[in-house]
Amino acid sequence: MYKYNFEQNSQHRIEILELSDEKCKFSFEGDLSIANAIRRVMIAEVPVMAIHFVDIIENTSPLSDEFLAQRLGLIPLVSYAADSKMYDWEADADSIDDQKTKVVFTLRQKNLNDAPLEITSQHLEPEFGQVGEMAIRPVRMFSPINGKEVGIPITRLGKNQSVHVRCHALKGFGKMHAKWTPINIATFRHEAELNFDHSQTQSLSLFEKQSIRDSCPMNVFAMDANQDLIVNAIEKCVFCEECIRCAESMKKPRLIKMQHKKNKYIFTVESAGQLKAADIVQKALIVLRKKVDEISQDLSFAQQQQQI
Amino acid sequence: MISEKDKLITSYLSFRGLQKQHIDSFNYFIEQRLEQIVKSPLNQRITCESDSSFLLEYLSIRVENPTFTSSWDKYSLKSLLYPHECRLNDQTYAGDIYVNVRIHMKGREPIEEKDVLIGRMPIMLGSKKCNLSGKTEAEIFQYGECPYDPKGYFIIEGNEKVILILEQVVDNRIIVDVDNKTDQYVSTVQSYQLETKSKASIILKKNKFYVKSSSFKDAPLFIVFKALGIVNDKEIIELIGTEPSIVEKLLMSFQDSSDEKIKTQLDALQYIGKLITSKFGGQSSNLADQAREKLAQVFLAHVNCKKYDFYPKAIYLGQMVRRLILAMEDKRFVDDKDYYGNKRMRCAGNLLELLFEDLFKGLNSTISSILKKELGKANCKFTPKDVTMKMKEFGVDITKGLNRAIKTGKWTIQRFHMDRQGVTQLLARISYTSALGMLTKMRSQVQKTLKVSGPRALVGSQFGMICPADTPDGEDCGLVKTLALLTHITQEDIQDSVYKIILSMGVEDICHFKPSEFHKNYIVYLNGIIVGMHARPQEFVDQLRILRRRGKINEFVSIHKDDLRKVVNISGDSGRLVRPLILVKDGKPQLIQIDMIDFKQNDAKTVFSSFVKNGKIEYLDVNESDNAFIALTINDVTMETTHLEIDQMTILSCVTGLVPFPHHNQSARNTFQCQMGKQSLGIIGMNTQIRCDTQLYQLIYPQTPLVRTVSMEAVNQHRLPAGHNAQVAVMSYSCYDIEDALIMNKSSLDRGFGRTAVYKKSVTECEINQRNKESRFNERIDEPPTKTHNTKKKFIKKYHALDNDGITKVGAQLHHGDIYVNKKTPQVPDNPQTENIQIADTPSVFKEKWPYTVDRVLIINNTNDGTEKIKTIKTIFRQIRRPEFGDKFSSRHGQKGVVGLIVNQEDMPFNERGWCPDLIMNPHGYPSRMTIAKLMELLCGKLGALEGKFKYGTAFGGENVLQVGEELLKRGFHYQGKDCLISGITGEYMECYVYQGPIFYQRLKHMVIDKIHARAKGPMEKLTRQPVEGRAKDGGQRIGEMERDCFLAYGASNLLIERLLISSDPFNVYVCEICGMFKSDSVCRGCNTDKVYQIRLPYCCKLLFQELLAMNIKPKLQLVPSHERQEYTMN
C-alpha cells in the first residue's frame, strides 16, 4: 500500500535536466502522488485555445462539414495569451465581448486551377486580436525535409471547389476534448536503482562481465579501469531485466538487484506547440496550487461552520 | 526456385482479378451461347399454323454495348451508358439485343430484315460488352468508377446484383452411390444435352437389375438392352463383363426377358412403350415407336444416337451396370458424391443462358400465335415489316424477364421445371472485402434445413480450390463456400479439336471392338461420353499432357487416368475448378528465378500466359490433381514430384487473406474473422463521395494495417482498408472489460479513432404524366408554407429545412418529424370536370430518431422503360458517429468486443516514453481462443512502427517472430513485447509487465445508436390491444415465457400483474354471476338478474372467450367474491 511519507516529502526539489521550447526534462524529488498530480494536470487541465465552433458558410471540399470542423479543432493554436482570455461560461452572458473569450479565424479559399490546392493552417486568418509573438495563431509547422514552413494540412480542393468558414477558438482544457491538451507527451518515470551483489561480482569472469554489459539494450553498464562492472548510465534503464536474465543464465540469479528509486521521478514533457514546455509545467503547478488552495479554503470554511 | 513468388501471385491477380469466372462465363454466353441458342434447330424457325408458306428464320444475333434507353428507334442517336449513371439514375446497365432474320411470306420474295431489336440484355460490368473494358485507370475514374472495383456484377434499376456461383453435381458422368432409403447401390447418370435433361439409374430390386428413368417406369435391365437392339443374351453379358463374379450377379435378371417372352427388339420396345409415363406427342399410337423415340431422345440423352443406332447407348448402359456390380463387390468402386471432382460450378453465364432461352422461346411462341391470328384472316395485310414490329413490341418481355429474374433472384425455367429463389444477391458494399467475398462466394444446391454432414464437410479434394476457413457458421455452414485465391472456373471448350487429336493418338473407336474385348483395356471418355479404347493408357495420357503444355489443346482441358476403374477421363466441360501449379520435371521446378525478370519488361498477362504456353505453369482440376504428386514447398520436391504449389497461402480466400499469421490461430477464429471482415467499416471504393447507396458507411480516417499479407496486396485490400492500427495494452482495467469488452481512450476518440460517417438514402418519387406534363393531376413539389398569423409555430417548424423549391437544403439538419420534400398529390375526383380537385399533403417525413445532416440531393428525371415518367428525388443524409459505449469492434482474429468504458487519457496507463494505449483489451480473451496470431501481429506491428516499415504476416510464411523479438530488443524494447506501465491513476508502476503494441482493429457495423430502444407508452396492436412489436414501430419490450418464468420463480407476482396486465391490455367487463358470460352493462337480461359484476382482465383474454363462443364453445366464468378467494383456493 502506498503511504504518504511526511518526513521525506517535506522537501520538494526540481532539477532541470534538459530544456527547450518543445521539450522539458526534469527530475522531481518528492512524493509520488504529487508527481502524478502534476502529470495529470499537464494533460488535462492546463488551459489553451482551440477552435471549438465553426460557422460553415461554404464547403464544397471533399470533406464533410463535421469532418472539416473536427480537423480544424485539432489544429494547435499558440496560446501564450490564453491566460488573458476567459472561459466561454465565465463571460457575462449579457455583455458578450468576443474579444474576451475568443479569437476568430476565417478560412476562405477557392481553387481555380486544375492542380489540387492544399489548404493548411497557414490559410487561417485571424479576424481580430493581437499580432506578433503573443498573438493566438496556428502553430507553425516546418517540413522535416527542407525546413520550409508548410502548415498543417486541413483539406485539399479540386478545381472550382472552395471553403469558406469562420472558426471560433475558445479557451478550454484537455478534460473537455483532446484538442485542448497542450502536451504531446507528459510522462515520468521512477529513477532506477541497480545494485550488484558484491559477493558474487568477484567470482565473475571477464567474459561474463562483458556479456552482462552487452546484454543491456540501453547500454546502462560499462567497465571501469579495473575491468569491474559499473553502472554507467542509470537514467537509461528501462527495466527490461535483460541483465537479470543474463545473470540467471550464469546461474547467478541474485547478482543484480533492480529497484525503483523512491521519491525521485524524471519527467519528460513535450509540448504540442501551444505553450512552451517549461510554461506547461509552471502552469500545471499553478493549477494544482489553485486546487489545493480551494480545498484548504473549503476546509477552513467548513471548520468555521462547525465552530458556529 | 523463386523467392519472388509473391510477385507471381500479385501479377496473376492483377490481370485476372477475383471475378474472372463471372466475366468469362458471361462473355462465353454473349459470344458463343447466344448464337447457338438462336441457331439451334428447335429455336431457329418460326412457322405459322394458318399459313404454311410463312417462315421466319433467325440468321444471327448480337448484343450491343450498353446505351441509353432513351429511344427504341434504331435511327436515333445513342450515347453510351456508363455504370455509374445507372446507379444514380436507377437504370439498368443493359445493351440492345439485335437479330437478323429472313422472312418468307406468301407471294413475296424472301426478305432479310437486319437489326431487329428484341430486347435489352443486362451487361456484366467488366465483360467485353461493358463500356469500361479496355479503359485505363484514369479513364475509369473519369466515368465515376472506382479503379479497384472488382466488377463482375450487374446493375438492375440502380441496384448492384451478383449472380452467385451455384454448385451442382456433375452431368453426364456415371456415379455409383448408396441410396439413402434402400441402402442399395445405385448407378446414376444425369444427362444434359442442349435441349434435354434426363436422369437414368440402375437399381437393384430383389437381386434383379432395373433401369429407372425419368421417361418410363422401372424396366428390367435385359429388356432395355433388347430394346436397344442387343437381342442376344450372350452379347449383353459381354457388354457388362464376362468375369464369373459379374455373370453371377446378372443371373437373376437374366430370366426377365424370357419370362415376358421377349425375343426381338420390337417385343422389347412394345414392352417399354407400355411403361412410358407421359405420352409423347400424342399422335402416334404405336407403342414401339414411342418407346424408340424416348430411348433416342431422352434416355441417356448425352450419348449420341444417329439414325436410331442404339449401340453406343447399349455400351454406355453396359458400363453403368458394370460399375454397379463392381461397387457391390468392392467398396473402392463406390463414388463419393461429395468428391469435388464430381461437382460443377454454374456461373452467371450458365444461368442467364437458361433464362434467355426460355424467354426467347416465349417470344417465338408469342410471335407464332400472333401470326396464326393475323395470317389466318381473309384479307391479311401483314407485311414482313409488321412481323419485325411485333418482335420489337414483344421483345420487351425478354427485357422485363431478364431484369425481373436478376432483380428478384427468382429463376423460373419452365422447360426444366426449375423454380429457384435467391439466385442473385445485392452486392454487399459494407466494406471492400465484403464485395470481394461476395463475388467469390459459392452456394450449394443442398437444402439448408437438411441436417447432413456430408455436403458440409471440408474434404481433401477441395484442397487449394476452396478456402477452408471462409464459410458462415449456422445453417449455411459448409454449404456456402468461397473460392481460394487462385482458383478459376473453366468455360466449355470446343470439343472437336480435342476429339480429333485423341483419335489421332491411338484411341480406337469402341465400335471396332468385340464387346468381349471392352474390359481389357482402358476406356477413354471425353466429357463423359465413351470415345474409344487405348492399349497403352499411360503413354497416351503423358503425350496428351505434353500437347496441352505446348498449347495444342486448351490449357484447361483435364486429363485424368483412373487405374481402378480402368478409365481415362478427358474433360473440357464448363464449371470445373482449376488452379495454376508450377510444373516439376525430374525433381526440378520448371519456373526459375530468371523467369521473374520478364515481369519487369512485359505486361503481367502476357508473361503469365507465356509461362503456361511454355509448360512452366499448368492448370490442374480436381480430377487431374489425383494423378499429380504436388509438393507444398520447394524443399518437398523429390524425383517423383510432378507439380509444385505456387505458394501455400493460395489455399485461402481473399477474405481469409486479411488475417495475419492465420496458420497460428485456432481455425474457428479465422472463420469468425471471415464473417466479421465483411462487417467491418472502412472505405468501399474511390468513388464513395459520388455514390448513392441506400446505406453507406465510411471510416473517416481509415489506416492501412501495419502487419499486412501478400494476398491483401494482391487484391488491393491495403488500398481500401477497413480499420485502424490501435495501440493496444493487454491488461485488466476497471471491471468494465469483462466478457470481451474494450476500454477506450477518450482522447483517441477525440482525435478520430473509429469515427465513421453514415450515409443514408431516401427516395421520393413524383408521378408525372409523360404526355401532359402540365396536367393538374401530376404530383408536384410545393414551396414550404409561409408564416401567417394562423399558422402554429410547431407547424412551421417542420418545414425549416426546406428551400424555396420545396426540397431540403444541403447542409440542413433534420430531426425526427421534419419534412424534407414537400410533395403534394392531387386526388382525382369522380368527375374531374365539375368537382374541385382535392390536394393532399404527401410529404417525405424524416423518420430517423437522431438528427442527420443533408449531404446531397439528386433530382432525376427517369423514364422507366419508356412508359411512365417519374421524377425522383434522392436525398442523402449523413451522420458522423464517434464510438460510444456498446459499439462493436474487432481485431482480425475473430475477437470481437464492445466498448465497455471510455477513459480520459490521464487515467490511462502510460510508459516512461509517454506511450499511452488507445484501447485496453482484457487478457482473458486469449487462453480459450488461442489466437496466437494476434500476439504475433502485435509484436510485428510494434517493430514495424519502430522501423517505419510494413511487416508481413502472410499465411504459412511471414515474419519470423524470434527475429522480430531480437530487433525489438535492439531498439530498447522487451523482446517479448512486454512493457513496464505506470498506472495513470496512482502513478505507481504496475506490478507486472504489460503486453502492448499496435493491433489492427476493425469497427463493425453494429452500433448502439441503431439498436437503442426504450418506451413507456406507445402504439398498440389493433386486435389484441397489446403493445406492438419491434423497434421500428416503437414497440414494447416483450416479457416472454422464459422471463415470466423468472418472475414466477422469484415470486414477484405483483410485478407480473403489472407487466402482463396493467402495462399491457387491461380491460373491464361485466360478468353475470349466474350465466358466467360477458354482459354489456350491469344487467343480465337472460338470467333476469342484476348480479352482474365488473371484473378486470387482459383484453386478449376477453377476445379469446369471444372467439371460443364463435366456435360454439362456452367458457363460463365463475365469480368468487374477493374476500372469499383465499378460502376458495384452499378448497
pLDDT digits (tens, 9 = 90+) for B627-639: 999 999 888 889 9
Alpha-carbon distances of A74 from A58, A63, B258, B734, rounded to whole Å:
20, 15, 97, 29
A3 belongs to a structural domain:
no
Select from B853, B767, B839 the least CA-distant residue to B808. Answer: B853
| pLDDT tops 60 at residue B1127 | no
Average pLDDT, integer, range A246-269: 84
- pLDDT value of residue B947: 93
CB nearest to A240's CB, from B752, B974, B987: B974
- B220 sits in the region (left: phi over 0; alpha: psi -120 to 50; else beta) called beta
Query: Do A236 and A284 fall within a single domain?
Result: no
Q: What pLDDT, on a 0 to 100 scale, did the predictor assign at position B305?
A: 77
Confidence of residue B274 (pLDDT cuts 50, 70, 90): confident
State pLDDT tens for residues A111-152: 999 999 999 999 999 887 666 777 888 998 888 888 898 989
Answer whether A177 sits within 8 Å of B913, measured CB to CB.
Answer: no
Residue A56 lies in a domain: yes
Task: Please indicate, yes or no, if residue A79 is contained in any of the structural domains.
Answer: yes
Whether A279 and A232 map to the same domain: the answer is no
Taking the CA of residue A240 and the nearest CA in chain B, the distance in Å comes to 6
Average pLDDT over residues A164-171: 93
C-alpha cell at A152: 498543417
A177 contacts in chain B (CB < 8 Å): 750
SS (H, E, C) B723-740: CEEEEEEECCCCCCCCCC
Q: If you ran DSSP here, which 8-state letter would residue B1089 be given?
A: B
Which CATH number is A108's domain given? 2.170.120.12
Same structural domain, A19 and A130:
no
Residue B867 has pLDDT above 80, yes or no: no
Domains of chain B: 19-160+346-406 (3.90.1100.10), 174-301 (3.90.1110.10), 488-651 (3.90.1070.20), 707-754+884-1008 (2.40.270.10), 763-877 (2.40.50), 1013-1064 (3.90.1800.10), 1065-1130 (3.90.1800.10)
How does the average pLDDT of chain B come out, rounded? Answer: 86
Task: Express as a percent the part of chain B with pLDDT over 70.
Answer: 94
A110: exposed, middle or buried (C-beta count within 10 Å: 0-12, 13-18, 19+)? middle
- The answer on A75 and A37 residing in a single domain is no
Q: Who has greater pLDDT, B775 or B41?
A: B41
Pick the residue of A51, A56, A57, A66 with the most B CBs within 10 A to test the interface with B by mutation.
Answer: A66
> In this complex, do A178 and B757 lie within 8 Å of one another by their Cβ atoms?
no
In this structure, the number of other CB atoms found within 10 A of the CB of residue B844 comes to 20
The radius of gyration of chain B's CA atoms, rounded to the nearest angstrom, is 36
For residue A245, how many C-alpha atoms fall within 13 Å in the half-sphere facing its CB? 11
For chain A, give the mean pLDDT: 87
Q: What is the pLDDT of residue B868?
A: 56
pLDDT at residue B357 is higher than 80: yes
User: Average of pLDDT values for B399-403?
Assistant: 91
- Nearest CA to CA, how far is B1004 from chain A (Å)? 20
**CA nearest to B972 within chain A:** A217
Distance of CA B503 to the CA centre of its chain: 41
Chain B nearest C-alpha distance from A152 (Å): 15
The answer, for A39 touching chain B at a CB cutoff of 8 Å, is: yes
Residue A222 domain flag: yes
| pLDDT at residue B936 in the model | 95
pLDDT at residue A69, rounded to an integer: 95
Does the pLDDT of residue B181 top 70, yes or no? yes
- Asked if A117 and A239 sit in the same domain, the reply is no
Averaged pLDDT, A256-266: 84
B748 interaction partners in chain A (CB closer than 8 Å):
178
pLDDT digits (tens, 9 = 90+) for B118-148: 888 999 999 999 999 888 888 998 898 999 9
- A86 with A125, same domain? yes
On whether residue A1 sits in a domain, the answer given is no
What's residue B1's pLDDT?
44
What is the ipTM score, two decimals? 0.90
Are A186 and A227 within one domain?
A: no
One domain, residues A130 and A212: no
Least confident of A69-78, A115-124, B1122-1131: B1122-1131
* pLDDT higher than 70, residue B1128: no
CATH number at residue A247: 3.30.70.20
B752 vs A70: CB contact, 8 Å cut-off?
yes
Nearest to B747 among A62, A178, A188 (CB): A178
Q: Look at residue B766 in the predicted model and tell me its pLDDT.
A: 84
Q: How many CA atoms lie within 13 A of B71 on its CB side?
A: 8
Mean pLDDT (whole number) for B769-781 = 73
**Is B1010 tagged catalytic?**
no
* B70, pLDDT greater than 60: no
| Segment B519-547 mean pLDDT | 87
pLDDT at B69 exceeding the cut of 70: no
> How high is the pLDDT of residue B1020?
94
Name the strand (E) or helix (H) holding B203.
Answer: strand B196-205
pLDDT-wise least confident of A48-52, B1109-1113, B1116-1120: B1116-1120
CA distance B130 to chain A (A): 29
Q: Angle between the B432-439 and B667-677 helix axes, to the nearest 10 degrees?
A: 110
pLDDT of the residue at B185: 87
Residue B278: band (very low, low, confident or very high) from pLDDT cuts 50, 70, 90: low
- Residue of A240, A267, A288 to mutate when probing chain B, most B C-beta within 10 A: A240
Beta strands in B802-917 (DSSP E): 813-814, 819-821, 823-827, 838-841, 844-845, 852-864, 868-881, 888-891, 896-903
pLDDT at B499: 85
Who has greater pLDDT, B420 or B255?
Answer: B420
One domain for residues A22 and A38: yes
Domain assignment present for residue A261? The answer is no
Q: Between B525 and B495, where is the model more confident?
A: B525
pLDDT for residue B904 is more than 90: yes
Shared-domain flag, residues A118 and A16: no
Residue A227: per-residue pLDDT: 80
Residue A126 inside a domain? The answer is: yes
Same domain? A126 vs A236: no
pLDDT value for B731: 94
Instruction: Compare B482 and B273 and report the one with higher pLDDT.
Output: B482
Query: Between A and B, how many residue pairs show a Cβ–Cβ distance under 8 A?
Result: 95
User: pLDDT band at B1048, cuts 50/70/90?
Assistant: very high
Same domain, A163 and A87: yes
Average pLDDT over residues A168-177: 92
Distance CA B352, CA B541 (A): 35
CATH code assigned at A41: 3.30.1360.10
| Domain total in chain A | 3
Q: Of B476, B562, B598, B740, which residue is the catalytic one?
A: B740
Task: Determine the structural domain holding residue A273 and report its residue range.
Answer: 8-45+182-191+266-308
CB–CB contact B853 A242 (8 Å): no
Supply the pLDDT for residue A293. 93
Residue A260 located in a structural domain:
no
The pLDDT, as a whole number, for residue A178 is 94
Instruction: State the pLDDT confidence band at B73, using cuts at 50, 70 and 90.
Output: very low
Q: Is the pLDDT of residue B1131 over 60?
A: no
Rounded Cα gap, residues B170 and B841, in angstroms = 59
Residue at a domain's end among A130, A147, A180: A180
Tell me which chain A residues have a C-beta less than 8 angstroms from the C-beta of B987. 32-33, 35-36, 39, 188
Chain A residues with CB under 8 Å of B700 CB are 67, 70
pLDDT score for B773: 65
pLDDT in tens, B579-622: 999 999 888 888 877 677 766 667 778 888 888 888 888 999 99
